């Protein structure tokens, strides 16, 4: 269908606004031929805060941005004599996440202590699961795409080595004036999932695409908010380079990447830096680096220690976690001490990549639209529910171009959509059937949200927004317009003779003027045909 | 090594034997002689050299000021003593983390039951600033590269 | 009144025959008389008096709690809310816990009166209770009390004369006496056979054992009727043996460790000191059970049980031959033999058994202990609590300086060694090896018990209480290796054990023996121990002449 230019311009603005919103992952580095000499190897360690009321080993609250040190129990502050008590909900969240990432659950998992001194780690050790993690050996398929070139997309698979539960540390704020650190332990002890990938990535684009997929998955599972800006998900990257055929190079670790974009930028910078160092004859030091988002560079952390030894030791105050299904659970065991996994493994949401595949294959939707659809919370569900017997492509365009704009402007959370989906479908139908004009769609949508208890059909009738079908009325209006704008008519005549192809410009003007006069209650194509008829007579 | 208190009476052993004879002594199930296997020190692994690098490394990990002659000697003795473990054949034996290893851990319900005790948390801290704990600066990055040369 | 047992005291309080307040006052007075034994780090007499008053009120309305009015003491590594809990260390010298340990909470909720926190080896590391910032604990047996000397010299404790001039030999006890009084004391009270001059004058004395020496002494000297200690390698049974009281270590997982500042988490168990086995059972009944704050307590139901009288004929007693170690003294060996025969004469089946890995237990302990210590002590950085040095250059400098002052050499040495054993390159060789040996030790016990043996009979310590001068000739680690040989393997296996005083040695010091039971059959163990105690009729220490 051809839309008039004015309208399509508006569409384009909205689309690019939406696309830029989803553009967080993109890393746009030009391809350097010298880099063909090198292979880069990247592995990720992702720390995701598990959504729960209370912490992993204590009953203190996990709410974000609480008042300093008010969400700290005596255990979190490592007061002597206190002991950890494991939170069932957090273990269950870990189980569901591990299953969704294709991991094999460990029938028995244990906790360990990882020792290092740091002011925000009050006990001098972190309780984690090094030796016997909750789950191992998963696989995640993910989509790598390029928003500059939507045709350049590919499917990749990353292996998950293990998923383990562990404690988050507190926060230290550096007070530069007084040369000290201020420690807030609210975050200390919050439950984390550490997801360790195999070194399966080659650059920032792949790594950041994976992180995006993971964030979406976690949000679907509701086990992590994925809000990297709040620190709910942090990424550490292990990066090394080597020449083809040679063994893996020395790796560095870039820590605490807190946005999808940073993941991409930091990794690409570090790869370049390492290549540069090696080509200059220098060596790569096995060290920890941080990423400075402003300069786009990774910076070495001050660490005199050549090699940190965490001296892992079993956590003696926690017994093993045993997982059973309803068939294998032993008799007489205290239900407070066991986790039966049956109900946890049922009804797991499908992965984002499966959603991309499904929509792409079933409905032949472009990758770009798939990405937008899936990445927008709640939108896919709406699409799935109302797509039946409707034109999928047209529906997606409608949802992305028309519907989303209105929803965003009103800050609506589509996961808790205030209007029934059938209303949205109805508006789409009205548009498709030309019951209302494209120009009025936005208005109708706004009114739909304003009056959730009325059907859009009722609203349109009430507000008199439906297209005028009566040709005589339309013709009359068109004639009025022609009379008002003789110069436009003249231009049209000139245009007609000069170029057969004809710029629609004067026609655009005529149509738009008439539409305005009719309160957009007409199909522009019909108007065009009326004008053509009228003008041909002149 | 026999530990003897300084005040053992001289005739105690003789008296005891007499008493026992009077009481119609059972053949006791308690062995008469020590039963421990003497450990041949030659068979034990040698204590590796505790060079300065190792000691410094340990000090860094322990954060106790033990990098002195007495400290190193103490460590040496402790390792030497621990080496006796190698006399025990542990082939095929699994390490024991806890005597309750076959029991499953207790799981708590996800409710907020702790926290909100700022006073309790801070009361034993020597230095507190506006409800924060205070520490000297920790592991911070080195000064960033000059921004003009950055991308 | 103070020589009654806990059971008798409870009964008399319930009956109204003893007033809780009066009992408390008497205990406080006794505590003053025996203060030089240095059993307490913190005395909480005012708190005890308040608690006794409350008990008295309940007495009046016949609404008494099970332990109402009973004075108790608690080792100073159990957290007590608002009461200084130091672990005898500079690191926690001013530490005020914001909560009560579960064991303490249970005692208090049952009406007991807390007389004070008892002295110990710093952080529980040691078997003598001599490594404390408050000074060593002294064994009341064969101890010549200064107040006794003063009285004999016609002086009053705390009087002006007793503080008039310094006198070198008594200076160590903080008491000053004139030269005249001293010779008078020597002439009047010396008993050449029983005491050396050093002991008599107070410059030498017998150690109380450790690390819960203070609690053992508190019970032995009549200051309280029950005390809490902690037992990691014998820290309850060892001082119980030297001080001639009952020291009971329940099965690992029966009593909550919430609030017990840990030494080795996988070995620690709160322990009970009392005068009789039945007393220990009473306290155990009120302390046992699952605690949601401690994930290593079992959620098996815990039932309070009285100790019945039993027929010994149905029992099989095991004598593990490896407990005749090279260091055992003649006295202990003979007592052990005598007890084995006692059981056999009474009709029990007594057999020799083998726990082949016994002699490696103490080595295994030394590794596991150092490693856990290195880990458990990592929290002492001076930032959230504990001693904080004046150092702001870097976090590491601050932490190192705080720990260097806060910890004594024993603690620092164990941290250092522990970190060595936990290094990546050493982990398998030492820590994992020790864990494997631990499994073998534990299996030794299981195998023996699976062969129909009910209880094991062994010595508690290789000797009776040593002199301080002898004991302090060697370092902490060496002494622990010697003295904890018989108690330590029990912790490895997590099984319950109780030390019962049997008789006095030639030197007049207590000789005790240990009974070891099966996991979670604590009451069965105590039942046998009670029978045994009734046979041996140990003469308990009576210090009422001091009052």
Read off the pLDDT of residues C195-229 as tens digits, 9 standing for 90 and up.
Answer: 455 665 667 889 999 899 999 999 999 999 999 99
Assigned domain for B2 exists = no
When scoring C94, C269, C295 by the number of chain A Cβ atoms within 10 A, the one with the most, hence best to mutate, is C295
> Angle at Cα A278 formed by Cα A272 and Cα A284, nearest 5°?
90
CA dihedral A55, A61, A67, A72 (to 10 degrees): -50
- Tell the burial category of C143 from Cβ atoms under 10 Å away from its Cβ (0-12, 13-18, 19+): buried
Measure the CA–CA gap between B137 and A461, rounded to whole angstroms.
68
User: Tens of pLDDT along A233-271?
Assistant: 999 999 999 999 889 999 999 999 999 999 999 999 999
How far does B83 lie from chain C, in Å, by closest CA?
8
User: Tens of pLDDT along C147-191?
Assistant: 666 655 555 544 444 433 334 445 555 555 555 555 554 444 444
pLDDT at residue A173 greater than cutoff 80: yes
CA atoms within 13 Å, Cβ hemisphere of C199? 25
pLDDT at residue A36 greater than cutoff 90: no
Measure the CA–CA gap between A256 and A298, rounded to whole angstroms.
11
Write the CA distances from A357 to A24, A351, A354, C158, integer angstroms: 22, 10, 5, 91
Assigned domain for B117 exists = no
Across the interface, of B106, B137, B150, the residue whose CB is closest to A297 is: B150
C235 is catalytic: yes
Average confidence score pLDDT of chain A: 87
- Contact assessment for residue C214 and residue C208, using Cβ atoms and an 8 Å cutoff: yes
- Does the predicted model carry a pTM greater than 0.80? yes
Q: Is the dihedral of CA C34, C40, C46, C50 positive or negative?
A: negative
Measure the CA–CA gap between B122 and C413, rounded to whole angstroms.
30
Range of the structural domain that residue B72 is part of: 40-89
Q: Is A179 on the interface with C (CB under 8 A)?
A: yes
How far does B29 lie from chain A, in Å, by closest CA?
38
pLDDT at residue A37 greater than cutoff 70: yes
Please tell me the predicted confidence (pLDDT) of residue C152.
Answer: 55
Q: Is C22 left (phi over 0), alpha (psi -120 to 50) or beta?
A: alpha
Pairs across B and C, CB distance < 8 A: 252
pLDDT at residue A19 greater than cutoff 90: no
Write down the catalytic residue from C129, C181, C211, C256. Answer: C211
- Of the candidate ranges A57-66, C132-141, C160-169, the one whose mean pLDDT is the lowest: C160-169
CB contact under 8 Å between C378 and A179, yes or no, is no
Higher pLDDT, C148 or C372: C372
Strand-pair partners of C501: C512
Contacts of C479 (CB under 8 A, 6+ apart): C126, C127, C128, C471
Quote the tokens at residue C423.
Answer: 């290094």
State which H helix or E strand residue A321 sits in.
Answer: strand A321-324
Name the domain count of chain B. Answer: 1
Question: Which 3 state secondary structure label does DSSP give C482?
Answer: helix
**Percent of chain C as helix, strand, coil, to the nearest 5:** 45, 15, 45
Q: Which of residues 40-99 of A touch C (CB under 8 A)?
A: 74, 77-86
> Residue B137: its chain C contacts at CB < 8 A?
394-395
CB contact under 8 Å between A81 and C299, yes or no, is no
The closest alpha carbon to C498, from C520, C521, C523, C516, belongs to C516
Percentage above 70 pLDDT, chain C: 90
User: Tens of pLDDT along B113-123?
Assistant: 999 999 999 99
> Residue B116: its chain A contacts at CB < 8 A?
61, 70-71
Average pLDDT over every residue of A187-193: 96
Measure the CA–CA gap between C178 and A271, rounded to whole angstroms.
84
Please tell me the predicted confidence (pLDDT) of residue B143.
Answer: 39
Split at pLDDT 50, 70, 90, the class of C371 is: very high
> Residue C78: its chain A contacts at CB < 8 A?
81
Cβ neighbours of C471 (radius 10 Å): 20
Split at pLDDT 50, 70, 90, the class of B19 is: low
Domain boundaries, chain C: 6-139+206-287, 144-204
The closest alpha carbon to A468, from A436, A431, A429, A427, belongs to A436
Measure the CA–CA gap between C332 and A422, rounded to whole angstroms.
90
Write the CA distances from A457 to A438, A445, B14, integer angstroms: 15, 11, 116
Across the interface, of A68, A297, A333, the residue whose CB is closest to B131 is: A68
- Tell the burial category of A533 from Cβ atoms under 10 Å away from its Cβ (0-12, 13-18, 19+): exposed
Average pLDDT over every residue of A36-42: 88
User: Tens of pLDDT along A495-536?
Assistant: 665 555 555 578 888 888 888 888 888 888 888 888 888 888
Average pLDDT over every residue of A306-323: 89
- Contact assessment for residue A169 and residue A189, using Cβ atoms and an 8 Å cutoff: no
Please tell me the predicted confidence (pLDDT) of residue C189.
Answer: 43
User: Tens of pLDDT along C31-57?
Assistant: 999 999 999 999 999 999 999 999 999
Please tell me the predicted confidence (pLDDT) of residue C314.
Answer: 86
CB contact under 8 Å between A83 and C379, yes or no, is no
pLDDT at residue B51 greater than cutoff 90: no
**Percent of chain A as helix, strand, coil, to the nearest 5:** 40, 20, 40
User: Tens of pLDDT along A399-455?
Assistant: 999 999 999 999 999 989 999 999 999 999 999 998 888 888 999 999 999 998 999
Average pLDDT over every residue of A362-375: 89
Assigned domain for B83 exists = yes
Please tell me the predicted confidence (pLDDT) of residue C124.
Answer: 95
Please tell me the predicted confidence (pLDDT) of residue A238.
Answer: 95
Write the CA distances from C518 to A305, A475, B149, C496, C528, integer angstroms: 48, 103, 73, 6, 12
Measure the CA–CA gap between A393 and A366, rounded to whole angstroms.
9
Please tell me the predicted confidence (pLDDT) of residue A440.
Answer: 87
- Of the candidate ranges B46-50, B89-93, C186-190, C275-279, the one whose mean pLDDT is the lowest: C186-190
- Contact assessment for residue C258 and residue A46, using Cβ atoms and an 8 Å cutoff: no
Please tell me the predicted confidence (pLDDT) of residue C164.
Answer: 34
> Residue C382: its chain B contacts at CB < 8 A?
126
Assigned domain for B7 exists = no
Q: Is A40 left (phi over 0), alpha (psi -120 to 50) or beta?
A: beta
Quote the tokens at residue C304.
Answer: 């309070």
Average pLDDT over every residue of A190-208: 95
pLDDT at residue C83 greater than cutoff 80: yes
Which residue on chain B is closest to A51 by alpha carbon?
B110
Please tell me the predicted confidence (pLDDT) of residue B14.
Answer: 55
The beta strands (E) that lie in B57-114 are given as 107-108
Average pLDDT over every residue of A339-363: 91
Which residue on chain C is closest to B17 by alpha carbon?
C334
Write down the catalytic residue from C35, C75, C117, C249. Answer: C75
Higher pLDDT, C464 or C187: C464
Cβ neighbours of A304 (radius 10 Å): 8
The beta strands (E) that lie in A198-251 are given as 233-242
Strand C455-459 to C316-320 pairing? parallel
Across the interface, of B37, B64, B82, the residue whose CB is closest to C416 is: B64
The closest alpha carbon to C235, from C420, C369, C47, belongs to C369
User: Tens of pLDDT along C398-433?
Assistant: 898 899 999 998 999 999 999 999 999 999 999 999
CB contact under 8 Å between A290 and B113, yes or no, is no
Write the CA distances from A358 to A155, A198, C513, integer angstroms: 14, 27, 76
Cβ neighbours of C302 (radius 10 Å): 18
The closest alpha carbon to C420, from A87, A536, A101, A311, belongs to A311
CB contact under 8 Å between B35 and C322, yes or no, is yes
Measure the CA–CA gap between C213 and C41, rounded to whole angstroms.
12
> Residue B114: its chain A contacts at CB < 8 A?
54, 58-60, 73-75
Q: Is C320 on the interface with B (CB under 8 A)?
A: no
- Tell the burial category of A213 from Cβ atoms under 10 Å away from its Cβ (0-12, 13-18, 19+): buried
Which residue on chain C is closest to A312 by alpha carbon?
C422
Please tell me the predicted confidence (pLDDT) of residue A513.
Answer: 87
Quote the tokens at residue A361.
Answer: 């294959």
- Contact assessment for residue A314 and residue A111, using Cβ atoms and an 8 Å cutoff: yes
Please tell me the predicted confidence (pLDDT) of residue C161.
Answer: 45
Please tell me the predicted confidence (pLDDT) of residue A150.
Answer: 83
- Of the candidate ranges A99-113, A488-502, C365-379, C477-491, the one whose mean pLDDT is the lowest: A488-502
The closest alpha carbon to A121, from A302, A310, A319, A317, belongs to A310
DSSP class of residue B84 equals G
- Contact assessment for residue C200 and residue C173, using Cβ atoms and an 8 Å cutoff: no
CB contact under 8 Å between C423 and A77, yes or no, is no
Measure the CA–CA gap between A285 and A253, rounded to whole angstroms.
10
- Tell the burial category of C541 from Cβ atoms under 10 Å away from its Cβ (0-12, 13-18, 19+): buried
Strand-pair partners of A42: A201, A239
- Establish whether the linkage from the previous residue to B79 is cis, with ω within 30° of 0: no
**Chains sharing 3 or more CB pairs under 8 A with chain C:** A, B
pLDDT at residue B144 greater than cutoff 50: no
Split at pLDDT 50, 70, 90, the class of A59 is: very high
Write the CA distances from A77 to A188, B147, C63, integer angstroms: 8, 39, 40
Measure the CA–CA gap between C244 and C542, rounded to whole angstroms.
11
Write the CA distances from B15 to A175, A414, B21, C327, integer angstroms: 77, 95, 10, 22
Strand-pair partners of B132: B129
CB contact under 8 Å between A59 and B121, yes or no, is no
Assigned domain for B10 exists = no
Split at pLDDT 50, 70, 90, the class of A397 is: very high
Measure the CA–CA gap between B51 and B61, rounded to whole angstroms.
16
CB contact under 8 Å between A54 and B135, yes or no, is no
CATH number of this structure's domain C6-139+206-287: 3.90.1300.10
Write down the catalytic residue from C162, C235, C241, C402. Answer: C235
Which residue on chain B is closest to A122 by alpha carbon?
B133
Strand A321-324 to A339-340 pairing? parallel
DSSP class of residue C504 equals E
How far does B123 lie from chain A, in Å, by closest CA?
11
State which H helix or E strand residue C249 sits in.
Answer: strand C246-249
**Locus of tokens 């998955």:** A217
Percentage above 90 pLDDT, chain A: 59
Length of chain B: 151
How far does C69 lie from chain B, in Å, by closest CA?
30
Measure the CA–CA gap between C226 and C265, rounded to whole angstroms.
24
CB contact under 8 Å between C319 and B30, yes or no, is yes
The closest alpha carbon to A191, from C379, B107, C294, belongs to B107
Pairs across A and C, CB distance < 8 A: 109
Please tell me the predicted confidence (pLDDT) of residue B17.
Answer: 55
Average pLDDT over every residue of A37-43: 92
What is the value of ipTM here, to two decimals?
Answer: 0.89
């Amino acid at each position: 269908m051809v839309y008039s230019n004015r309208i399509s311009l508006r569409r384009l603005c909205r689309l690019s606004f939406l696309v830029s919103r989803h553009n967080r992952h993109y890393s746009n580095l030009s391809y350097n031929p010298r880099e063909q000499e090198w292979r880069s190897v990247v592995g990720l360690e992702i720390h995701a805060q598990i959504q729960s009321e209370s912490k992993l080993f204590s009953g203190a609250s996990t709410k974000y941005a609480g008042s300093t040190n008010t969400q700290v129990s005596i255990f979190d502050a490592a007061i002597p004599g206190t002991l950890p008590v494991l939170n069932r909900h957090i273990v269950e969240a870990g189980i569901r996440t591990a299953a969704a990432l294709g991991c094999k659950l460990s029938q028995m998992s244990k906790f360990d202590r990882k020792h290092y001194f740091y002011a925000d780690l009050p006990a001098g050790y972190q309780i984690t699961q090094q030796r016997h993690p909750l789950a191992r050996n998963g696989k995640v398929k993910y989509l790598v795409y390029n928003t500059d070139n939507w045709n350049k997309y590919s499917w990749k698979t990353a292996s998950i080595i293990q998923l383990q539960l562990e404690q988050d540390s507190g926060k230290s704020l550096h007070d530069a004036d007084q040369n000290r650190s201020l420690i807030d332990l609210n975050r200390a002890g919050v439950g984390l999932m550490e997801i360790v990938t195999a070194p399966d990535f080659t650059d920032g684009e792949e790594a950041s695409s994976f992180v995006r997929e993971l964030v979406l998955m976690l949000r679907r599972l509701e086990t992590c908010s994925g809000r990297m800006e709040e620190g709910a998900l942090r990424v550490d990257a292990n990066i090394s380079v080597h020449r083809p055929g040679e063994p893996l190079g020395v790796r560095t670790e870039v820590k605490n990447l807190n946005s999808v974009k940073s993941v991409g930028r930091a990794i690409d910078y570090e790869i370049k830096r390492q290549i540069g160092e090696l080509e200059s004859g220098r060596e790569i030091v096995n060290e920890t680096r941080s990423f400075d988002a402003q300069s786009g560079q990774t910076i070495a952390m001050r660490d005199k220690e050549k090699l940190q030894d965490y001296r892992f030791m079993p956590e003696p105050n926690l017994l093993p976690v045993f997982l059973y299904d309803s068939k294998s659970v032993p008799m007489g065991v205290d239900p407070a001490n066991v986790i039966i996994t049956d109900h946890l493994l049922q009804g797991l949401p499908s992965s984002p990549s499966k959603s991309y595949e499904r929509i792409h294959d079933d409905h032949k939707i472009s990758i770009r639209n798939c990405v937008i659809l899936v990445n927008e919370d709640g939108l896919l569900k709406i699409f799935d529910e109302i797509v039946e017997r409707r034109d999928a492509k047209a529906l997606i365009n409608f949802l992305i171009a028309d519907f989303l704009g209105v929803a965003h402007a009103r800050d609506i959370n589509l996961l808790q959509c205030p209007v029934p989906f059938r209303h949205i479908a109805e508006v789409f139908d009205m548009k498709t059937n030309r019951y209302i004009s494209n120009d009025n769609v936005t208005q109708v949508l706004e009114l739909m949200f304003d009056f959730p208890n009325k059907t859009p059909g009722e609203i349109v009738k009430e507000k008199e927004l439906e297209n005028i079908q009566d040709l005589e009325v339309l013709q009359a209006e068109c004639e009025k317009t022609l009379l008002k704008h003789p110069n436009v008519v003249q231009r049209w005549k000139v245009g007609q003779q000069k170029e057969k192809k004809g710029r629609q410009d004067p026609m655009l003007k005529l149509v738009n003027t008439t539409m305005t006069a009719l309160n957009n209650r007409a199909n522009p194509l019909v108007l065009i045909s009326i004008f053509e008829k009228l003008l041909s007579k002149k | 090594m026999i530990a003897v208190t300084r005040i053992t009476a001289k005739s105690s052993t003789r008296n005891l034997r007499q008493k026992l004879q009077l009481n119609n002594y059972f053949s006791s199930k308690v062995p008469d002689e020590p039963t421990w296997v003497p450990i041949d020190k030659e068979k034990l692994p040698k204590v590796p050299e505790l060079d300065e690098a190792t000691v410094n490394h340990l000090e860094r990990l322990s954060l106790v000021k033990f990098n002195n002659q007495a400290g190193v000697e103490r460590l040496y003795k402790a390792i030497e003593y621990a080496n006796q473990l190698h006399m025990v054949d542990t082939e095929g034996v699994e390490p024991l983390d806890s005597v309750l290893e076959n029991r499953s851990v207790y799981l708590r319900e996800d409710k907020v039951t702790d926290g909100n005790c700022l006073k309790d948390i801070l009361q034993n801290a020597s230095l507190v600033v506006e409800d924060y704990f205070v520490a000297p600066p920790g592991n911070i990055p080195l000064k960033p590269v000059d921004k003009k040369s950055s991308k | 009144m103070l020589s009654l047992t806990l059971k008798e005291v409870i009964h008399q309080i319930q009956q109204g025959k003893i007033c809780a307040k009066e009992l408390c006052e008497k205990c406080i007075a006794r505590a003053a008389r025996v203060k030089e034994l240095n059993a307490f780090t913190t005395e909480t007499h005012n708190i005890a008096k308040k608690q006794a008053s409350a008990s008295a009120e309940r007495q009046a309305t016949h609404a008494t709690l099970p332990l109402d009015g009973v004075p108790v003491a608690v080792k100073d590594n159990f957290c007590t809310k608002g009461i200084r809990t130091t672990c005898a260390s500079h690191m926690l010298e001013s530490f005020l816990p914001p909560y009560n340990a579960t064991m303490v909470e249970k005692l208090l909720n049952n009406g007991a009166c807390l007389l004070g926190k008892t002295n110990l080896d710093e952080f529980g590391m040691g078997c003598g209770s001599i490594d404390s910032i408050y000074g060593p604990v002294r064994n009341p047996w064969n101890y010549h009390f200064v107040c006794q000397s003063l009285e004999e010299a016609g002086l009053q404790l705390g009087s002006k004369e007793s503080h008039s001039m310094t006198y070198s030999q008594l200076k160590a006890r903080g008491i000053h006496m004139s030269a005249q009084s001293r010779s008078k004391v020597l002439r009047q009270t010396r008993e050449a056979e029983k005491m050396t001059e050093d002991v008599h004058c107070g410059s030498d004395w017998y150690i109380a054992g450790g690390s819960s020496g203070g609690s053992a002494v508190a019970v032995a000297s009549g200051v309280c009727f029950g005390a809490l200690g902690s037992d990691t390698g014998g820290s309850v049974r060892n001082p119980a043996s030297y001080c001639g009281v009952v020291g009971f270590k329940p099965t690992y997982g029966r009593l909550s460790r919430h609030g017990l500042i840990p030494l080795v988490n996988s070995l620690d168990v709160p322990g009970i000191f009392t005068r009789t086995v039945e007393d220990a059972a009473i306290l155990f009944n009120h302390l046992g059970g699952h605690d949601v704050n401690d994930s290593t307590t079992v959620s098996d139901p815990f039932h309070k049980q009285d100790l019945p009288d039993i027929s010994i004929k149905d029992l099989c007693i095991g004598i593990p031959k490896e407990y005749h170690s090279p260091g055992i003294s003649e006295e202990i060996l003979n007592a052990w033999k005598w007890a084995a025969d006692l059981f056999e004469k009474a009709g029990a089946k007594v057999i020799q058994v083998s726990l082949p890995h016994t002699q490696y237990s103490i080595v295994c302990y030394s590794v596991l202990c150092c490693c856990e210590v290195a880990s458990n002590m990592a929290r002492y950085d001076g930032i959230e609590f504990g001693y904080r040095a004046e150092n702001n250059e870097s976090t590491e400098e601050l932490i190192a300086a705080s720990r260097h002052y806060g910890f004594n050499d024993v603690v620092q040495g164990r941290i250092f060694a522990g970190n060595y054993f936990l290094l990546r390159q050493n982990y398998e060789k030492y820590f994992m090896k020790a864990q494997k040996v631990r499994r073998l030790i534990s299996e030794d016990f299981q195998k023996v018990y699976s062969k129909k043996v009910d209880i094991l009979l062994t010595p508690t310590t290789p000797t009776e209480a040593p002199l301080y001068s002898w004991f302090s000739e060697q370092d902490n680690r060496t002494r622990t290796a010697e003295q904890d040989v018989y108690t330590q393997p029990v912790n490895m296996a997590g099984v319950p054990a109780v030390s019962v005083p049997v008789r006095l040695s030639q030197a007049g010091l207590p000789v005790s023996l240990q009974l070891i039971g099966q996991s979670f059959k604590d009451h069965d163990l105590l039942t046998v121990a009670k029978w045994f105690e009734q046979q041996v009729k140990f003469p308990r220490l009576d210090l009422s002449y001091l009052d």
